Each structure stands twice: as structure tokens, then as C-alpha cells.
Structure 1
Amino acid sequence: MLKFILRRLGSSLIVLFGASILMFVLVINSGDPLFDLREITTGNRELLMQQRIDSMGLDLPWYERYWDWLSGVSQCFVGQCDFGVNRAGLPVNDLLALAAASTMRLVVLATVLAIIVGVAVGILTAIRQYSGLDYAVTFLIFLFYSLPVFWAAVLLKEYLAIGFNDWIATPSFSWTTIIITAVLAAVVIQTVLGGGLRRRLITAGVVLAFVIGTMFYMDASGFARNPELGPLPLIALGAATAVGATILFAGLHNRRVLAAGLITAGLGLVSYYVTWGLMDQPSWWLLVLLGLISVGVAIGVGQAVGGYSRSTASIVSVVTALVMGSLMILEQLFRYWPVYLGRISRPIGTIGSETPNFVGTFWEEFIDKGTQLLLPTILLTLVSVATYSRYTRSSMLEVSRQDYIRTARAKGLNERQVILKHAFRNSLIPITTIMAFDFAGLIGGAVITEQVFGWKGMGDLFQVGLRTVDPAPVMAFFLVTGTAAILFNLLADILYAVLDPRIRV
């Protein structure tokens, strides 16, 4: 394995070196870096042009300019990268750090959501092949995939930003809205869950009553502007998570796994009170530390209670702990939402990654950046979910026709075990390839999305550098994205052997 990794890295460095030369030559010959100065009519035009020629080395041959860039970049091997300065004299290192942080905040959440939703939808449509659900989901998936990004962004701005900001000023639900929402939810959920006619009618009735009651309560209590969660909904949702995860991973007949999940939910309720003071004004490092402690405790509970199913019990406990932790964070966001609305009357932003000059508490700034992140995250998720769902569906259908799947069913395994332990794991190889390419590509930034929503990320860094014929930021973009592509593809190759022991690198 080590020999394979070193050989791949060596060949990748040679490819990266050759591609960097080509990229550098293409950029410096893509236009005139003095174009904007040639059009000014002031008397110091020649001086300004000469200053730019000197600062960018425009009077040097291309190979000397490339060597200067390569000399700075080669210091990355000793941890002292120098990407040079851009046309305005600003260090590209600083610009790259800001752009990478902005882009990662934008695309990581969208990519994770797209993977989770896409894989789940792909499994569901593969199980329900050629059903009404399959056809409806396929239509919606291709519709989202075909949407022009800029047009979809305008629709999101109009309805989820401007429309919501107008509504939140005096929020209320009309009975027409309540009834339409409840009927749509009932139709969708009974279609997804399936079953016989009696089961579908019961599911639809329960969902209809639940949605009507919930929306009526939210309207009467002013939940939109003054939301609250509290310990009772917290433990109820935690217990529901434990039960659902047990059904998914083990089945309710496995009492040890269910007990591990419920114990974790109970410990989550205890931590709700114990950490209340810490959660009032935390830091990101504190949240990460608390999250790691929660995962560690959950694994310990699973190992102690799970018995022969301790690995499955640990998974269920970790899922329950993560959901409980997320709900505790949501509780704090609910507390500060009215405060934030008092300062920002139109909370859903459409331009930029945060409100300019906004300074507040940790949770207020969390809400501010989260609301700015909402629209581009939804857009990127809708566009990306199609790829994962279709690949998962086709891969699951191909695997489900294999002999070992028929053998597993013939041995008497229940359908949950056949799907999750046999079919899904063996269908992950093509999905792993897509994930590797997707993560590597998204690190380069979603250029159109960043431009529409005014995000200063990697895509913007590349676009500005190319427009101004400035090789320094473009080459920094190229080096980061190229390195990411190499590393993620190498990781995919290694994961192949983990997913399928028959594969050897």
C-alpha cells in the first residue's frame, strides 16, 4: 500500500508540474494586463504602466516569471508557501486563505446534504422501482439538475428571501395555507412510506392531523418570531431518533441496541442541564470538544450495553448523540432568534456571506452567517442531489440482481439486512468515485453561485485573476484544486479496498 501511494504521488506531482506550466502560459497570454491603464488620460499614465510592468515582471520572459512563482510555491514543502502578490500588491496567501474559508463554508454543508439526501433517495427509488414514487422522484431530480443556476438563484431570492422577509414581519398562517400544506405533506409521506391502502390512509390521516395541529399551534403562539424547544420536546425527539435508528440498523427486536440508544438520549437530556451555562456563550473549539465527548460517551454506552451487537449499538448511540447535540444547538439559536430579529428586520440575506459590520454574541453571529448561507446551500444541494441519487439507484439495481443477494434472501435474512449490509455496501464503489470528484471540484468554488450571491470564494478568486490577466491568484487556485483532485482520487482508490476486500491496490 505504501509503495502504491508513493508511486501515485510521484506521478501526480509530474502531472501537476506539467499542467502548471501550461496554465501559467495560457493565463499570461489570455489578455492585456495593462488594458485598464491604456484607457486613462491622466499625465501619470506611463508611470503607472511602468510600475505595473515592474511589479508583475511583464518585461521578463515567461519562463523567468514562472520560475519566480515556482520558487515561492516550492517552499510549501517546508511549510512556508509563498504564492506571491496580486496585481494590486496584496499577498495572495491572505486572499487564498479568505477565499478557501468562504468556499469551504459554502460547499461542504451543501455537499454533505446532497450526499445524504441523494443516497437515501437513490436507495428508496431502487427499492420502489417503477412505482409512482420512482417516476415522480425521477422527474423532480432531472428538473432540479436541468435548472439554470442563475435562474434558480433568482427564484430562491424572490420567494425564500424577499417573500420570507416580508412574511416574518407579521407572521401568520391562513387556513388555506394550513390545509394545502397538510394535504401535500400527507400525500408525499404516504407515498414514500407505501404499504397497502389501509396503511396509506392511516398514514395520510395521521400526517394531516399532525401538520394542521402543528401549524395552528405555531400561528397561535407566535412561534415564527419567538420559537422555543425545551427539555420535553428534546427528550421526545431524542427517543424517536433512538427508535428510528434501531429500526434502520438492527430492528426493534434487538432490545440491547434499542436500550443503548434510549440511554444515550437520557444522557443527552442530563447534558442539556449540565452544559447550559457553557452553551450560553461558547466558542467553536468548545462545541467541537463537547461533540467529541458526546461521541466518545455514546460509543462507550454502545460497547457496554450492546452485547453481541455492540458495534451496531455504538452506531445507534452515536446517531442519537449527534441528533441530541444538534437539538441543543438549535435550542440556543431559538433563544437568540428574537434578539437577532430585533437588530436585523430582514434576516435572510441575498448578497455576501455575512451582514456588513455586524457584531454580536456568538449565537447572533452564528444566526447571521447561517441565514446568509441558507440560499446558496439549498441551490447547490438541489443541483448536486441528482447525481448521487441516480448513481445510487443504478448501482443498487445492478447489485440487487447479483447471485449473493438472492442467496442472502434465501437464507432468511430480512430485507433491511439485505439492503443495508449486502446491497448498499457493494454499491458504494461507483458512489465513492463521484464523491471524490465532487469534493475535489467543489473546493474550486461554485463560480456561478458565488457570483450570483456575492460570495468572495475560490471561484471569485479565479475569475478576478483571469479577468485582470494576473497569474498569481489563478495559479494559487490551480494549485489548491489540482492538489485536492489528486488527494481525493488517491483516497477513493484506498477506499475501494476498504469497501471491497477483493480489490487490491
Structure 2
Amino acid sequence: MLTFILRRLGAILLVLLVASFIVYNLTAIGSDPLADLRGSTSSDRQERIDQRIEQLSLNLPPVVRYFTWLGGASKCLIFQCDLGIAFSRSDQPVTAAVANAASSTIQLVTAATIIAIIVGITIGILTALRQYSGFDYTVTFLTFIVYSLPIFWIAVLLKEYGAIQFNQFLADPYISIPAMIVSGLIAGVIFMSVLGGDVRKRLITFGSAFAAVVLLLAFLQVTDWFSRPTVGIIGVIITGLAAAVGVTAISTGLANRRTLYAALITVAVWAALYQPMQYLFTFVPQGWMLLGMYVVSILLGVGVGLLIGGEGKKEAARTAAIVSFITFFVMVIDRTMLVYPDYLRRIPQSGAIATIGSETPNLRGDMWFQIMDGFTHLILPTIALSLVSIAAYTRYARSSLLEVMNQDYVRTARAKGLSERTVIVRHAMRNALIPIATIIAFDIGALIGGAVITETIFAWRGMGSLFVTGLERGDVNLVMGFFVVTGVLAVIFNLIADLLYSALDPRIRVS
């Protein structure tokens, strides 16, 4: 394994050297960093031109300038990067400009990528298991439509209906009875299609989903939830129980009682800690402290799983840790929602769903205000990026799982009497995820490179806008700073994908 990694790192270094040489010289030859000064009418135009020529060493050939740049870039190996200055950013160091843009882009794409992977693969698995059903045909039709839509059109629709129209609804929230009925019908059809079964089971599923959605919307309307949203201890318990049952069913199956008990005990522990946590949250002023609490929540689940798991301690600890993380995450959401009314009073002109930028300028408040503000700005671009990726991952997961389900070893597993859950989760899915791992690895690298159109529409100053600015102004150093980040991430995620192959399929060895 170590030999393989070192060999790949050597190849990665060679690829980056060749690619950086080509990109630098093409950008230097095809751009004019003095174009803005040549058209200037300032009296000191020539002095400024001479100053920039000296500053950027434009009197030297591009090849010589590349090796000068490479000398500074090589210092990144000892964590002392010197990528030059970006004259298009008021002579700001390129490392600072790239760091700000990369953090903004990572903030944007992280949630979108996680949501797309989880939702897309889940829907793809469900459609594969319901092949040629009404649900399969409907999802296939919708995914083809969403995948073919231009991202700018999706973003514009989201701004109109996901922000402007929805903010108008939140200003005076009212859900009519016809809207409740229509929502219930849609939910009933979706759940009935997903769960399947005979006619009687479908009707029961449809009726249960319809009644649950109608009652939920009526409850939200009566309690004025949209004006003062909260999860509350009841919501935390319900979400935790649903996570305990769902994660256990996928991980080990509900027949494994010890694992299920470990997950349920974890939920009970968090329910008992709900009120003390509300007091403790007031003393968490920094994000790193909240991150530490997430780590503690995982350790709590692991500890409960090890105590309760019996012979299956590993599976119980893993399941309880996931359930503990989900339950604590819901508690954090609940705490963040408490600042919602005060947050709206501070930004009356913006509305609950923001459409421009990554933050509200000059907004003062504690960490919870910052989390709320970040969420309101992230929600629309996250949905825009997620929709297209979900459609793609759904198609990939469906086709990959259908191909694997016809393999001999899957039929052998069924013939041995294994449960359908075990056949799908432990045998079929691991091999089905191999091609998906490659796609996800490349997609993550590409997204961190900047979603240019999405960033432009939502005025999000990330890597995409950084790259466009560098090209437009002929700022070679800025373009190369972009290349360093995206190029390194692309090859690293490609290496990670190769390592995942051996983890997903024991027949694959890296040596």
C-alpha cells in the first residue's frame, strides 16, 4: 500500500509539473496584463506600465517567468507558498486570494456534494429495486429532465420561487386546506410508489402518508411554526427514533436486537440531555468548540455500542455512532432556529432566504446568528448544485446496481439463504459503488474548482469567479493559483478513488 501511494505521488508530481508548464505559458502568451493600463488616460500611465512590467517581470520570456514562479510554488512543500501577487486584486498575495476563494467555494459545495451523494445514491438504489415500476419510470423521467436543464435556468427559478415567492409567504404564512390536501396526495403517491407491495399495502401506505402530511401541515399552521420555527424535544426524539430504526435496518437489520437497543439507548441519552444542552449551547461561542461536541457525540455512540453490542460490538458501535451524530445534529438545528425571529428583525429588507452573496454585510451576533445567516445564503445555491448532481448519481447508481444484481455471486448469496438486505447491502452495493466512487471523486474536484455559473448568479465570490477574473485581466499568477488548488485536488481525489476500490472490493489490491 505504501509503495503504491509513493509511486502514485511521484506520478502526480510529474503530471502537475507538465500541466502547470503548459497552463502558465498558454495563459502568458494569450493574455495581456497591461491591457487595462494601455487604455488609461491617466497622466502617470507610462510610469504605472513600467512599474507593472518590473513587478511581474514581463520583460522576460514566459518560459523564464514560469521557472521563477515554480521556485516560489515549490516552497508549498515546506508550507511557505509564494505564488506571487495578483495585480487584479489590488496587489493582494495570490495565496491570500486563493485561500479566501477556496474557503468560500468549499463552504458552498460541501453541503451540495453530501446531499447529492446521499440522496442520489439512495434514489438510484430504490429505482433499481423497483425496476420497471411506476416509481422507476417516474424517477427516470424526472432525472433526465433535471439533468438536461441548464444550471442558470434552475438557479433563476430558485431565486424567483425559492426566495422571492417563499419570502412573501413567510411574511404572512398561511396554508390553505386545498394546499394541505394536494400536499398529502403528493406525499401519498410518493411513499406508495417507493414502498410498493400489493394493492392493500399500497392503499394503507397512501392513506398513512396522506394523513400524516395533512396533520403535520395543520399542526404547523395552528402553532404558527413558520414564524417561530423549532424542533423541540419531541422533534429530536422522533428524528432520533427514525434514525435508530433506519440506520439499524440498513446496517445490521432489525433482527439484531443488541444493535437496535444500542441505537435507541443513544437516542434516550440525548433526550435526557436536551435541557442541559440548551444551557451548555449558550457557552459555545466558537465553531471549533461545536466541532468538538460533534466528536463527543460520535464517541458517545461508540461507547454505548461497545457496552451493549455483545458479540457484535463493532456493528453496534458503528450504528450507534451514526445515530448519535444525527440526533445531535438535529439538536444543533433546533438551537439555531431559536434565533430566527431576532434574525429576521435584523434583516427586514432581505427576507428569510437570501439570493446574493455568502453573508449579510455588517451583521453582528454570536455564532448561532452566523450559522443562521450562512444557512439562509447557502440554501439556494446548494439546491441548484445538488439537483443536477442528484440526477446524475441516481442514473449511475441505478445502472450500476442493476448490472451487479445479475452477477453469479449475487445469485449464489440468495441461494445460500441470506436475507435480501444482506444480499443488497453487503454483496451487491459494495461492487456497485466502485464506478460511482470514480465519478464522485472527479465531481468533488471539479466542484471545488468553482461552479462558475452558480457563483455568478448568486454573487458568490469563490474559485470560479477568481479564475474568470484572472483570465479576463491576464493575471497569470491568479490563474496559476487557481490551477495549483484545483490541479492538486483533482489528482488527490483520483488517488483516493483508487484506494476506495480496494476497500469496496477485496479482490482489488493496491501493491
Structures share fold, TM-score greater than 0.5: yes
- Give the distance between the partners of 2:82 and 2:172, measured in 1 at CA: 53
> Aligned to 1:344, which of 342, 347, 359?
347
Please say if 1:459 is aligned against 2:464.
yes
Selected match of 1:296 from 292, 295, 299: 299
Deviations for 1:198-245, whole angstroms, at most 9, x for unmatched residues? 111111111111111111121122100112222233223212221222
TM-score (normalised: structure 2): 0.96
1:447-502 CA-to-partner distances (Å, cap 9, x unmatched) read: 11111111111111111001100111110111111111111111111221122121
**Aligned-pair CA distance for 1:281:** 4.7
Alignment of 1:470-485 (within 5 A): 470-485=475-490
Structure 2: distance between partners of 1:18 and 1:228: 54
- The amino acid of 1:309's aligned partner reads G
Matches within 5 A, 1:346-365: 346-365=351-370
Give 1:137 shift. 0.5
Q: Which amino acid in 2 is paired with 1:314?
A: A
Offset of 1:43 from its aligned partner? 2.4
Whole-Å Cα distance in 1 between the matches of residues 11 and 314 of structure 2? 39
What is the Cα deviation at residue 30 of structure 1?
A: 2.0
Contact 2:450/2:464 (<8 A) preserved: yes
Q: Which residue of 2 aligns with 1:28?
A: 28
Aligned equivalents of 2:470 and 2:409: distance in 1? 54
Name the structure 1 match of 2:250: 248
Question: 2:237 matched to which residue of 1?
Answer: 235
TM-score (norm 1): 0.97
1:261 and 2:263 aligned:
yes
Q: Residues of 2 paired with 1:227 and 1:12: CA distance?
A: 49
> 1:2 aligns to what?
2
Q: Conserved in 1, the CA contact under 8 Å of 2:101 and 2:461?
A: yes
- Give, as a single letter, the amino acid of the residue that structure 1 aligns with 2:436: I
Letter in 2 for 1:294: S
Report how far residue 266 of structure 1 moved: 0.8
Aligned residue identity for 1:501: P
Number of residue pairs the alignment of both structures matches: 505
**Which amino acid letter does the alignment assign opposite residue 168 of structure 1?**
L
The answer to which of 62-71 and 161-170 deviates more is 62-71
Matched position secondary structure for 1:427:
helix
Instruction: Tell me which residue corresponds to 2:62.
Output: 62
Partner of 1:332: 335
Which residue of structure 2 lines up, in the alignment, with residue 390 of structure 1?
395
Out of 325, 330, 338, the position equivalent to 1:322 is: 325
Q: AA paired with 1:259?
A: Y
Name the structure 2 match of 1:52.
Answer: 52
Matches of 2:179 and 2:294, distance apart in 1? 38
Stretches of structure 2 lacking an aligned partner (at least 5 in a row)? none
Secondary structure at the counterpart of residue 313 of structure 1: helix
What is the alpha-carbon distance in structure 2 between the residues aligned to residue 431 and residue 259 of structure 1?
A: 33
List per-residue Cα deviations over 1:232-268 (Å, max 9, x = no partner). 3322321222122222323332221111111110111
Structure 2 Cα separation of the partners of residues 407 and 461 of structure 1:
54
The answer on 1:311 being equivalent to 2:317 is no
Which moves more between the two structures, 241-250 or 405-414? 241-250
Is residue 403 of structure 2 the alignment partner of residue 401 of structure 1?
Answer: no
Give, as a single letter, the amino acid of the residue that structure 1 aligns with 2:497: A
Judge conservation of contact 2:287–2:367 (CA < 8 Å) in 1: no
Q: Deviations over 1:166-204 (max 9, x none)?
A: 111111111221111111111111111111111111111
Tell me, in whole angstroms, the C-alpha distance in 1 between the residues paired with 2:243 and 2:44.
69
In 2: Cα distance, 1:424 partner to 1:220 partner: 44
| Equivalent residue letter for 2:80 | Q
Give 1:440 deviation, angstroms. Answer: 1.4
2:397–2:436 contact (8 Å) kept in structure 1: yes
Give the Cα–Cα distance (whole angstroms) in 1 for the partners of residues 180 and 316 of structure 2.
39
Alignment-mate amino acid for residue 272 of structure 2: V
Amino acid at match of 2:314: S
Looking at structure 2, the residues matched to 281 and 29 of structure 1 have their Cα atoms a distance apart, in angstroms, of 56
The C-alpha deviation readout for 1:367-399, integer Å capped at 9, x for no partner, is: 111110000100110011122111211111111
1:420 to 2:425 alignment: yes
Contact 1:281 1:362 in 2 (8 A): no
C-alpha contact (below 8 Å) 2:29/2:62 kept by paired residues: no
Greater CA deviation, 344-353 or 27-36?
27-36
Q: Counterpart amino acid of 1:393?
A: R
CA distance in 2, matches of 1:8, 1:184: 50
Q: How big is the alpha-carbon RMSD for the aligned residues of Structure 1 and Structure 2? A: 1.4
Do the aligned residues in 2 keep the contact of 1:280 with 1:332 (CA within 8 Å)?
no
Contact between 1:281 and 1:361, CA under 8 Å: does it hold in 2?
Answer: no
1:492 aligns with 2:500: no
Query: Residues 39-63 of structure 1: CA distance to partner in whole angstroms, max 9, x if unpaired?
Result: 2323222222222222222222112
- Write the distance in 1 (CA, Å) between the matches of 2:495 and 2:303: 33
250-259 or 477-486: bigger deviation: 250-259
| Corresponding residue number in structure 1 for 2:375 | 370
Q: Distance in 2 between matches of 1:171 and 1:281?
A: 33
Percent sequence identity is 49
Determine the C-alpha separation between the residues in 2 that align with 1:232 and 1:113: 25
Q: Which amino acid in the other structure matches residue 73 of structure 2?
A: V
* 1:405 CA displacement: 0.8
Unaligned runs of 5+ in 1: none
Q: 1:448 aligns with which of 445, 453, 458?
A: 453
d(CA) in 2 for partners of 1:281, 1:469: 48
Alpha-carbon distance in 2 for matches of 1:90, 1:66? 20
Contact 2:102-2:463 at 8 Å conserved across structures: yes
Aligned partners of 1:347 and 1:368 also within 8 Å: no
Task: Please give the secondary structure, in 1, of the residue aligned with 2:73.
Answer: helix
The whole-number CA distance in structure 2 between the counterparts of 1:115 and 1:232 is 29
Kindly provide the CA deviation profile for residues 106-146 of structure 1, in whole angstroms up to 9, marking residues without a partner as x: 01111111110111011111111111111111111111111
**Aligned letter for 2:282?**
D
Question: How far apart are residue 270 of structure 1 and its match?
Answer: 2.4
Cross-structure match for 1:215: 217
* 3-state SS, counterpart of residue 275 of structure 1: helix
Instruction: Answer yes or no: is the 8 Å Cα contact 1:115–1:385 preserved in 2.
Output: yes
More displaced 10-residue stretch of structure 1: 476-485 or 301-310: 301-310
Q: Is the 8 A contact 2:270 2:327 kept in 1?
A: yes
Partner Cα distance (2:239, 2:396) in 1: 32
